[in-house]
């Protein structure tokens, strides 16, 4: 009997995790936030598109409207949007009732509760929320409530049957529409696998990027009907991919994969921060890709719960090779702050560790400490954010992500505990989107326009970053997490010019650092840094 040939999954297979045909970004995965985005983002943009597709087509071509609520598909696909809208309406009866109940409870607590015992209010909680919420007063005697978030995963708000994986060959960095406003439409050259995100067969499938299996083995494991089987077979190859050499050197190696994704390796141990791995491309922009990752990643660090820092598309493809995922603690049941640890456990990640400010743990010779994350979250009560301080021997690195150093003294206290920092990685997207851009759907009362525009999710500007550099006595400063790489556009939909404020401010920072004999650069595409001991 002739044994079946063993195949590899091609490196250029694009993976879109979908929920009801929408790209599964962080706000539409947890039930606590997804319900608001379905009703007040997805339904809204589909209805708007069907009312005036020409307006959406025109807006998509206008750079002034980038990141706006405009659906980006050809008008010939209008029928798909009509069907998706009707399907969503039919399935959203529970969601609509749930959101209406939240609004009712919000109004009750805001207008009718005057500081007396909340026990008498429990009978007035709408039936659909009863047993899922706890009422409380804050320190200023204002009434509010929180959810028992774990229980919400057992309601129709979290429907695993709506989850699927869309596979197709990567067509280029800028060919993917913005995830907030455009659903994914399966085509003749794609295959949609109707499997749950926590399905173990996905680990087998993505392991095939480096370890060959027979096609019958992976198809049997998936256990679902595969439409376009000929197309599915074309996603595999007999050709063995280039083998990556394991990094065993004790001198730390830092590899920048684009945006906020950085891999730190030393003595056979690896830490990957905010995974966002690009696909292989001949675009001319140098990049590291999946084949440049180690066979086993000891630890993944997530800085915060924004869609460009915790990317399910990447995490699912790495799940089989991750030792543990470390995430910031959260507020436990607040609509604006869903639990990343709970979500990842539901998505099939077996070892998830929460970390709080100034907690430490070790990955081999790497000591990792959580550092307070300032700003960037629009002044919302959000706890799920933390920066990471790495100590490797006598060298120190701070990954500050999108922190905004508005100078209220916390870093002085951090310096007194941890000392100087050799390498600073800091985001300088210092304009930032208004609070309604991400969080608008959850608000019961919309912020006034001027207030909305003042509460921006921004990173540090030049002066704010320089203050950190001087305080921590940095020897090198790297600007990252700018969303400048073209493969990040479908997530952030930003496009810089030489006159864009983040570019101007980061250029100023780099120049001032170099004037003071501090190495500095704004990272783009890929970069590698070797630290001498």
CA distance 349 to 425: 27
Token match 């197309």: residue?
A: 231
Per-residue model confidence as pLDDT tens digits over 399-444: 999 999 987 789 999 999 999 999 999 999 999 899 999 999 999 8
Q: What is the pLDDT of residue 244?
A: 83
Rounded mean pLDDT, 235-262 = 94
Residue extents of the structural domains in the chain: 6-91+158-237, 93-152, 253-530
Topology adopted by domain 253-530:
Metallo-beta-lactamase; Chain A (3.60.15)
Q: Where residue 263 falls among pLDDT bands split at 50, 70, 90?
A: very high
Task: Answer for the pair 33, 338: CB distance below 8 angstroms, yes or no.
Answer: yes
pLDDT 10s digits, 443-477: 988 899 999 999 999 999 999 999 999 999 999 99
Q: How far is CA 457 from CA 146, 228, 385, 434, 445, in A?
A: 24, 42, 13, 6, 19
Q: Per-residue pLDDT for 338 more than 60?
A: yes
What pLDDT is stored for residue 1 in this prediction?
44
pLDDT of residue 25: 97
Structure confidence by residue, pLDDT tens digits, 55-72: 999 999 898 888 889 999
What tokens does 437 get? 């851009």
Q: Give percent of the chain with pLDDT exceeding 70.
A: 99
pLDDT at 533 over 80: no
SS3 content of the chain, % helix, strand, coil (to 5): 35, 20, 45
- What average pLDDT does range 362-389 have in this prediction? 94
Mean pLDDT of the chain: 94
Mean pLDDT of 94-107: 96
**How many angstroms separate the CA atoms of 12 and 333, rounded?**
39
291-314 per-residue burial string, b: 16 or more CB within 10 A, e: under 16: eebbeebbbbbbbbbbbbbbbbbb
Q: What angle do CA 327, 329, 332 make, to 5 degrees?
A: 130
Instruction: Determine the straight-line distance between the first and last CA of the chain, rounded to whole angstroms.
Output: 56
Classify strands 190-193 and 366-371 as parallel, antiparallel or unpaired.
unpaired
């Amino acid at each position: 009997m002739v044994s079946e040939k063993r195949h590899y999954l091609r490196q250029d297979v694009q993976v879109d995790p979908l929920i009801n045909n929408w790209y599964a970004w962080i706000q539409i995965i947890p039930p606590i936030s997804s319900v608001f985005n379905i009703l007040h983002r997805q339904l809204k943009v589909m209805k708007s598109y069907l009312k005036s597709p020409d307006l959406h087509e025109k807006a998509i071509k206008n750079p002034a409207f980038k990141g706006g609520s405009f659906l980006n598909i050809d008008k010939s696909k209008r029928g798909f949007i009509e069907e998706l809208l009707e399907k969503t309406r039919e399935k959203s009866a529970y969601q609509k009732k749930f959101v209406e109940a939240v609004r009712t409870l919000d109004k009750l607590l805001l207008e009718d509760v005057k500081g007396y015992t909340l026990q008498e209010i429990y009978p007035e909680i709408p039936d659909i929320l009863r047993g899922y919420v706890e009422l409380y007063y804050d320190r200023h005697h204002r009434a509010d409530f929180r959810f028992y978030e774990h229980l919400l995963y057992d309601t129709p708000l979290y429907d695993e049957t709506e989850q699927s994986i869309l596979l197709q060959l990567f067509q280029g960095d800028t060919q993917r529409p913005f995830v907030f406003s455009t659903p994914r439409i399966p085509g003749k050259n794609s295959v949609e696998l109707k499997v749950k995100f926590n399905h173990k067969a996905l680990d087998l499938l993505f392991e095939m990027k480096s370890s060959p299996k027979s096609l019958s083995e992976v198809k049997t494991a998936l256990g679902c009907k595969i439409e376009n089987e000929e197309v599915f077979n074309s996603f595999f190859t007999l050709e063995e991919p280039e083998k990556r050499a394991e990094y065993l050197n004790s001198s730390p190696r830092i590899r920048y994969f684009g945006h906020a994704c950085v891999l730190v390796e030393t003595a056979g141990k690896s830490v990957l921060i905010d995974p966002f791995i690009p696909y292989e491309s001949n675009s001319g922009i140098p990049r590291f890709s999946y084949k440049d990752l180690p066979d086993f990643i000891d630890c993944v660090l997530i800085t915060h719960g924004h869609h460009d820092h915790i990317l399910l598309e990447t995490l699912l493809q790495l799940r089989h090779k991750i030792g543990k995922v470390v995430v910031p603690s959260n507020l436990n049941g607040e609509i604006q702050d869903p639990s990343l640890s709970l979500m990842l456990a539901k998505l099939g990640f077996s070892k998830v560790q929460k970390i709080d400010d100034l907690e430490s743990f070790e990955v081999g010779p790497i000591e990792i400490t959580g550092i307070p994350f300032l700003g960037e979250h629009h002044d919302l009560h959000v706890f799920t954010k933390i920066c990471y301080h790495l100590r490797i021997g006598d060298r120190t690195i701070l990954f500050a992500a999108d922190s905004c150093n508005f100078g209220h003294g916390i870093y002085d206290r951090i310096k007194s505990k941890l000392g100087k920092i050799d390498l600073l990685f800091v985001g300088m997207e210092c304009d930032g989107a208004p609070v309604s851009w991400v969080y608008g759907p959850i608000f019961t009362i919309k912020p006034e326009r001027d207030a909305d525009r003042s509460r921006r999710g921004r990173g540090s500007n030049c002066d704010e970053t320089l203050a950190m550099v001087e305080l921590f006595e940095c020897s090198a400063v790297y600007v990252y997490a700018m969303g400048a790489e073209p493969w990040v556009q479908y997530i952030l939909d930003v496009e810089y010019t030489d006159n864009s404020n983040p570019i101007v401010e980061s250029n100023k920072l780099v120049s001032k650092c170099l004037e003071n004999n501090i190495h500095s650069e704004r990272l783009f595409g890929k970069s590698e840094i070797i630290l001498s001991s």
